[in-house]
């Protein structure tokens, strides 16, 4: 169980409690960044619960909604420059594929974990990944894919990053990722589980 | 938000119920069953067209 | 001609025997090809078959000429005619050659096109709500009901669909006549939850509804049950020789936790399957992705009322729990068809059939819809293996 009450309320998906605790603490003068830290702790717990098979997509999506509302209360209180990120990650669903529900969950978890996430959307071409990685100087690009038929473009996307000369790692994810796909694509990391994204990001950003 | 609905709780296959149409037509001079059958057939086509955009 | 007729009868008999849990002469081979695969084999561009319905229907014919021993087809290549969607101004679809490259698969833009506040009207009269609120919302041509554009759009849409269905039926009859192939399915329907989740509320919408307005969701599902039974029968034009297609989308693991699945997904789906079955109509229970946790519940359905299709569901468990009760199909991995070698495909099929088809009640198919990544030689290998190892 999470130590902090607010973190616990997020992990318990208790919307009312989350919102009232955020309001209460803001009034008591707690710094918004500290509250964001609490929310992130709860979110990380939710990611773990999903991975352990305790939580399902319905719960992840509800959690995302609660986070959104809580952030809505916090954002006006944040002074410019207040917001600190653990780093920037570029993400998108590869060209030829438009499934984005899984990717959106990954985005939510990464944001929840304190990263700035540049979401390029769906049907993203190799050049677009490279361009965004360059502009944002990110050490990690994440790609999502559900269709087996998008495997070819997935590989092109990975290769484009590799050949760009950028010092950027590539994480691929989706339900059909396995050893064969990993080998074929040449990606650095791969997973079928959304919450792995935060773990892999942690690894990458530690060494970055 | 909610517009006034023309009908409530219509069953499948029906856009405009025959009973409603029959009332509007008043006295039917010939074979009412034939008119009803053909009304319902085209009504069904309308129904399937409408639902085709949702059942996909 | 007579030869094709007897081929048709032979295949139909084989298919039906398997669905009835009997042992036919050999395992039937049913391959669920996407329009894109068929288009590729036929040598057309995606844009050509999405837009030109003649070519769309011709593509299947070309495939049947090129790949021998195909026993079943669904119809022309694609499900959706792009031109019809242009005529009504469909916001939610993007097509090759229009807003996508000519060789890109179509794209669906998922949004909550039905809003939370629409539930009440939907529940009171879904047909009217779809016609008066939903269609103008998702079709730009219909945006101003009563206007010239909207009136023309409605007329063109209705004509377009009639034209599409008419030419599709003609094409199907010609495949049957010239190649002796049987229809994989007749008619289509959905789990009520999927009707609500796919085109209406979208995934995030429906998932939040489970928490924020569960009673409305349940009421809407209840309202949908008779419509979905009817839709399956009507689109099959009353046929009961072949199963109705039911692609099951949002009931897979891990969309919902068990309690939610039991409360929201299952009851209305069960009613639809049972309703169809009471009309003599079997359901092709196309369980996309993973359904392992729900097998025991599915076993509650009337014996033989479904063909349980295995995608990523644990095959061993599906066989254990559902075998002997329902015909099983699927399981050949799509990644194998895309990346494997023909020998590997044959080897896989052999093992699959040895293990799970021995007692009959089995249909050979890929796990998921076969996309254009599948190699033609692997499809041939799959068929060969079926012909060779599938004999009883
Ligand atoms: C919803 C859905 C759709 C929706 C997509 C809506 C949207 N906005 O995403 C619509 C209707 C548009 C659609 C369209 C199509 N679909 Co579809 N679709 C599905 C369905 C039912 C669910 C997918 C889903 O959203 N799952 C829920 C999410 C949350 O799970 P997920 O994406 O797997 O993500 C999880 C993990 O994989 C992971 N993850 C995902 N991305 C990433 C990224 C990283 C970095 C990490 C770490 C982890 C990670 O984390 C998530 C949470 O754990 C599946 C079948 C099924 N039940 O799975 C078919 C399925 C994926 N679709 C399929 C097909 C064939 C299509 C179409 C081609 C249909 C057609 N021929 O008519 C089109 C494709 C159009 C295109 N150009 O892409 C096939 C693919 C088969 C194959 N050979 O690859 C499937 C498997 C169905 C089937 N069994 O045949 N589809």
**Band (C3; pLDDT cuts 50, 70, 90):** confident
pLDDT given for residue C98 in this prediction: 86
**Under an 8 A CB cutoff, do C207 and A181 touch?**
no
Asked whether residue A43 falls in the same domain as residue A62, the answer is yes
Residue-wise pLDDT for C329-378, tens only, equals 999 999 999 989 999 999 999 999 999 999 999 999 999 999 999 999 99
- Band the pLDDT of C99: cuts 50, 70, 90: confident
Q: What count of other Cβ atoms lies within 10 Å of the Cβ of residue C190?
A: 26
How far does B29 lie from chain C, in Å, by closest CA?
31
What pLDDT score was predicted for residue A157?
96
In this prediction, residue B1 carries a pLDDT of: 44
Most C-contacting residue of A52, A98, A182 (CB-CB within 10 A), to test interface: A98
Query: Quick one: pLDDT band at residue C1, thresholds 50, 70, 90?
Result: low
Q: Is A152 on the interface with C (CB under 8 A)?
A: yes
- The two tokens of residue A141 are 């690009």
**Mean pLDDT, residues C242-269:** 96
* Domain interval for residue C91: 46-60+78-183
Mean pLDDT of chain A: 91
| C366 and C330 Cβ atoms separated by less than 8 Å | yes
Neighbours of chain A (3+ CB pairs under 8 A): C
% residues pLDDT > 90 (chain C): 93
Residue C232 forms part of a structural domain:
no
What's the number of domains chain C is made of? 1
Query: Do residues A25 and A7 touch, judged by C-beta distance below 8 A?
Result: no
Give the tens place of pLDDT for each residue, A114-134: 899 999 999 999 999 999 999
User: In which residue are the tokens 């990458």 written?
Assistant: A204
Which residue in this structure is represented by tokens 């979401």?
A119
CA-wise closest residue to C181 among C72, C284, C48, C27: C72
> Is residue A202 domain-shared with residue A125, that is, in the same domain?
yes
Contacts of B10 in chain C (CB under 8 A): 125, 127-128
Distance CA C248, CA C256 (A): 14
Q: Are residues A17 and A58 in the same domain?
A: yes
pLDDT at A207: 78
- Domain containing A45 equals 5-78
Q: How far apart are CA C190 and CA C231, in angstroms?
A: 9
Last residue of a domain, one of A78, A98, A132: A78
* CB nearest to C189's CB, from B9, B47, B55: B55
pLDDT of residue C100: 83
How is C93-138 classified by DSSP, letter by letter? EE-BTTTB-TTS--EE-----S-GGGHHHHHH-HHHHIIIIIHHHH
**Ligand 1 atom at minimum distance from A91 CA:** 45
- Ranges of residues in chain B with a pLDDT under 70 are 1-3
Dihedral angle computed from the Cα positions of residues A101, A102, A106 and A107, in that order, rounded to the nearest 10 degrees: -20
**Sequence-ordered list of residues with C-beta below 8 angstroms from that of C183, at least 6 positions apart, any chain:** C72, C73, C74, C75, C172, C176, C242
Q: Ligand 1 pocket check: which of A146, A154, A174, A202 to mutate, most ligand atoms within 8 Å of Cβ?
A: A146
Read off the pLDDT band of A3 (50, 70, 90).
confident
The enclosing H or E element of A142 equals strand A140-144
* A150 DSSP 8-state letter: G
**ipTM attached to this prediction:** 0.95
SS3 C251: coil
* pLDDT value for A83: 77
Cβ contacts of C227 within 8 Å, gap of 6 or more:
B12, B51, C126
Tell if the CB–CB gap between A56 and C254 is shorter than 8 Å: yes
Q: Where are the domains of chain B?
A: 29-56
pLDDT at res. C96: 85
The verdict on A114 and A185 lying in the same domain is: yes
Instruction: Report the mean per-residue pLDDT for chain C.
Output: 96
Shortest CA gap B42–chain C (Å) = 12
Return the CATH number at A94: 3.40.50.280
Chain A interface disruption, residue of C257, C348, C366, most A CBs within 10 A: C257
In this prediction, residues C172-186 reach a mean pLDDT of 97
Residue C347 inside a domain? The answer is no
Domain count, chain A: 2
Question: What pLDDT band is residue C109 in, cutting at 50, 70 and 90?
Answer: confident
The pLDDT value recorded for residue B3 is: 60
Q: Is residue C144 part of a domain?
A: yes
Domain identity same for A201 and A108: yes
Do A177 and A92 fall into the same domain?
Answer: yes
Helix (H, G, I), strand (E, B) or coil at C166: helix
Could you tell me if A98 and A63 lie in one domain? no
- Last residue within a domain, chosen from A78, A105, A131: A78
Higher local confidence (pLDDT), C103 or A124: A124
Of the pLDDT bands very low, low, confident and very high (cuts 50, 70, 90), residue A15 is very high
CB pairs under 8 A between A and C: 74
Q: Where are the beta strands (DSSP E) in C159-296?
A: 182-183, 244-248, 283-287
pLDDT above 90 for C186: yes
- Give the binding-site residues of ligand 1, using a 6 Å CB cut-off: A 57, 97-103, 105-106, 142, 144, 146-148, 171, 173-175, 191-194, 196-197; C 34, 105-108, 110, 249, 252, 288-289, 311, 334, 368-369, 371
* pLDDT higher than threshold 70 for residue C123: yes
Instruction: Give which of C237, C303, C302, C240 is closest to C271, Cα–Cα.
Output: C302
Q: Are residues A108 and A191 in the same domain?
A: yes
Q: Where is the domain boundary, A30, A51, A78? A: A78
pLDDT digits (tens, 9 = 90+) for C279-335: 999 999 999 999 999 999 999 999 999 999 999 999 999 999 999 999 999 999 999
Q: For residue B40, count other CB atoms closer than 10 A to its CB.
A: 17
């Amino acid at each position: 169980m999470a130590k902090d009450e607010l973190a616990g309320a997020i992990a318990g998906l208790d919307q009312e409690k989350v919102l009232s605790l955020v309001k209460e603490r803001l009034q008591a003068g707690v710094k918004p960044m500290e509250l964001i830290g609490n929310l992130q702790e709860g979110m990380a717990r939710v990611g773990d619960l999903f991975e352990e098979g305790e939580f399902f997509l319905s719960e992840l999506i509800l959690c995302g909604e609660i986070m959104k509302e809580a952030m809505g209360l916090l954002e006006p209180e944040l002074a410019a420059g207040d917001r600190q990120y653990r780093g920037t990650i570029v993400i998108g669903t590869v060209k030829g594929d438009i499934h984005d529900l899984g990717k959106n969950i990954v985005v939510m978890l990464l944001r929840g974990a304190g990263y700035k996430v540049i979401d390029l959307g769906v049907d993203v071409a190799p050049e677009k990944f490279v361009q965004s990685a360059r502009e944002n100087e990110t050490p990690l690009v994440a790609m999502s894919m559900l269709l087996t038929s998008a495997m070819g473009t997935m590989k092109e996307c990975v290769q484009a990053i590799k050949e760009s000369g950028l010092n950027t790692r590539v994480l691929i994810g989706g339900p059909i990722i396995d050893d064969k796909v990993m080998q074929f694509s040449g990606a650095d990391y791969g997973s079928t589980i959304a919450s792995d994204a935060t773990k892999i990001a942690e690894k990458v950003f530690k060494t970055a | 938000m909610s517009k006034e609905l023309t009908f409530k709780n219509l069953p499948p296959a029906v856009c405009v119920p025959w009973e409603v149409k029959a009332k509007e037509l008043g006295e039917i001079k010939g074979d009412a069953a034939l008119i009803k059958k053909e009304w319902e057939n085209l009504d069904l086509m309308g129904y399937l067209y409408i639902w085709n955009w949702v059942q996909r | 001609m007579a030869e094709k007729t007897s081929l048709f009868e032979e295949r139909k008999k084989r298919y039906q025997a398997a669905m009835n849990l009997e042992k036919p002469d050999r395992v039937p081979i049913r391959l669920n090809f996407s329009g894109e695969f068929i288009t590729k084999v036929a040598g057309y561009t995606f844009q050509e078959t999405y837009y030109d319905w003649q070519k769309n229907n011709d593509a299947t014919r070309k495939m049947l000429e090129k790949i021998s021993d195909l026993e079943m087809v669904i119809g022309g290549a694609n499900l959706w005619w792009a031109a019809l969607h242009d005529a009504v101004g469909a916001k939610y679809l993007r097509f090759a050659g229009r807003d996508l490259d000519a060789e890109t698969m179509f794209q669906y833009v998922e949004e909550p096109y039905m809003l939370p506040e629409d539930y009440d009207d939907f529940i009171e009269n879904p047909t009217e709500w779809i016609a008066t609120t939903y269609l103008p919302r998702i079709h730009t041509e219909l945006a101003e009901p009563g206007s010239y554009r909207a009136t023309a759009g409605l007329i063109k849409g209705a004509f377009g669909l009639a034209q599409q269905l008419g030419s599709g039926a003609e094409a199907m009859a010609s495949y049957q006549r010239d190649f002796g192939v049987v229809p994989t399915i007749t008619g289509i329907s959905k789990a009520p939850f999927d009707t609500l989740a796919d085109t209406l509320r979208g995934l995030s919408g429906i998932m939040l509804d489970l928490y924020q307005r569960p009673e409305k969701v349940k009421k809407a599902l209840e309202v949908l049950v008779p419509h979905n039974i009817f839709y399956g029968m009507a689109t099959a034009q009353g046929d009961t020789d072949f199963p109705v297609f039911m692609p099951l989308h949002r009931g897979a693991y891990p969309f919902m936790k068990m309690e939610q699945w039991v409360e929201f997904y299952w009851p209305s789906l069960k009613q639809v399957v049972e309703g169809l079955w009471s009309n003599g109509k079997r359901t092709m229970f196309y369980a996309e992705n993973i359904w392992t946790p729900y097998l025991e519940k599915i076993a509650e359905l009337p014996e033989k009322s479904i063909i349980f299709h295995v995608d990523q569901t644990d095959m061993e468990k599906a066989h254990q729990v559902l075998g002997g009760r329902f015909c099983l199909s699927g399981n050949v991995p799509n990644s194998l068809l895309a990346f494997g070698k023909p020998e590997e495909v044959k080897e896989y099929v052999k093992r699959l059939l040895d293990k799970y088809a021995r007692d009959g009640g089995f249909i050979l198919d890929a796990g998921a819809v076969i996309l254009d990544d599948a190699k033609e030689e692997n499809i041939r290998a799959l068929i060969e293996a079926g012909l060779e190892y599938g004999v009883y």
